């Protein structure tokens, strides 16, 4: 399979939530999300294995490797750019990964409308767009509304991991999570580390390392 083999499920005018060929489409600028019910995880995956979700999946390198490495875990890749969704889909198809669901949609919208309470074992955000200009800060994924949803979907005692090359975004993320009543930092001050050998890698990680950028690994535990 090649990325171009995946065609968009609908035109903008015909947009609607739908699940087709391992991809769950969550359209933007749509009002009636609750008209579609995503199957329960044990029905979709045909097992009761724990479910892990990665936001900002990019080209899928990190999560595809995880799904291949841990077949007794179920994985959800969330990516809003369709060109990247196609690349994740092609990789999953070529490796026959049945434990990976791909979400073509925005992270907060998908989480808010389709993830049940305490349904996720672990969550990850790999290299979210830092939107570095102050006038664009409102577009950042890691803000309190999203943290509230993460607290709702994560099982108690489980973790949320974030990876970023942007020191300012890392500092802001630490402040938000430390101030939230439902999370506690996993690492001691400054609440991140600069190396995690067991974490896995991605296209973005390799890119920023080649450019000499320092990678920040953050982790917070749901109380």
Residues annotated catalytic, as ranges:
129
Number of helices (H) and strands (E), helices first, in the chain?
A: 7, 9
Angle between helices 107-114 and 144-153 (to 10 degrees): 40
Helices (H), the chain: 41-44, 61-69, 82-94, 107-114, 144-153, 167-179, 203-210
- Comparing C-alpha atoms, which of 71, 82, 207, 222 is closest to residue 148? 222
Report the Cα 145 to chain-centroid distance in Å: 15
């Amino acid at each position: 399979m090649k990325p171009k083999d995946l065609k968009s499920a609908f035109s903008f005018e015909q947009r609607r939530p739908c699940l087709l060929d391992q991809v769950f489409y969550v359209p933007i600028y749509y009002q009636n999300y609750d008209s579609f019910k995503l199957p329960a995880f044990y029905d979709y995956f045909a097992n009761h294995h724990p479910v892990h979700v990665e936001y900002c999946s990019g080209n899928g390198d990190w999560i595809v490797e995880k799904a291949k490495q841990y077949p007794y875990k179920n994985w959800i890749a969330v990516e809003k750019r369709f060109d990247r969704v196609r690349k994740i889909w092609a990789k999953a198809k070529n490796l026959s990964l049945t434990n990976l669901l791909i979400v073509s949609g925005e992270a907060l919208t998908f989480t808010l409308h389709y993830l049940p309470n305490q349904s996720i074992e672990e969550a990850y955000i790999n290299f979210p767009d830092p939107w570095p200009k102050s006038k664009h800060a409102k577009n950042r994924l890691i803000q309190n509304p999203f943290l509230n949803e993460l607290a709702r979907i994560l099982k108690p005692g489980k973790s949320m991991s974030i990876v970023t090359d942007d020191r300012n975004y890392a500092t802001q993320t630490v402040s938000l999570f430390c101030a939230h009543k439902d999370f506690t930092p996993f690492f001691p001050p400054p609440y991140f580390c600069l190396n995690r050998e067991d974490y896995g890698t991605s296209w973005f990680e390799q890119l920023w390392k080649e450019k000499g950028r320092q990678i920040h690994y953050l982790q917070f535990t749901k109380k």
